[in-house]
A = this chain, B = another copy of it.
Amino acid sequence: MHFVTRKAHFNAAHRLHNPSKSDEWNEQTYGKCNYPNWHGHNYEIEVTMAGEPDPETGYVVDLGALKQIIDTHVLEPCDHRNLNLDVPFLKDILPSAENLARVFFEQLQGPAEAIASPNVKLYSVVVYETERNRAEYCPYKVSKL
């Protein structure tokens, strides 16, 4: 099995706040991530597809084409935006790194698999919030714990 990965990055503001909960719960749960006037990150994302390389091209998927898919479906809606306010597909979603990884996976799966041969699948999306904190969504890596 082969895996190919493309990295991308964008800069955005966000805030962790669950509007169905009290302000106290939010402060206690999220600490400074709950500060009212937003903070932000240089988000790095890693998008991995898995499958066999096409014998004619040597590619699992053309990473230049995958870059375009990531640009269109993640970077254009998110870059220099407020993830709580500005991104249609994040409406009503708590923008934790975990949720971002899963939602980006859902946004990318259709268009990314459409540019590859049928046996090639979107395998995982990793979101680095900082150099020290990251989240990955991968439906294939482990069947059960």
Instruction: List A residues at the B interface (Cβ < 8 Å).
Output: 1-9, 11-14, 16, 18, 21, 29-33, 35, 37-42, 50-51, 53, 56-60, 62-64, 79-82, 85-86, 94-99, 101-102, 119, 121, 123, 130-142, 145
Which residue from chain B places its CB closest to the CB of A95 in the assembled complex? B58
A12: contacting residue among B39, B62, B94, CB under 8 A: B39
Which residue from chain B places its CB closest to the CB of A78 in the assembled complex? B39
A40: contacting residue among B11, B16, B139, CB under 8 A: B11
With A1-B138, A38-B82, A58-B99 given, name 19 new contacts (CB 8 A).
A3-B136, A4-B98, A4-B135, A5-B135, A6-B132, A8-B132, A11-B40, A11-B41, A11-B130, A13-B38, A14-B40, A21-B56, A29-B62, A31-B64, A35-B82, A51-B145, A57-B96, A60-B135, A141-B142
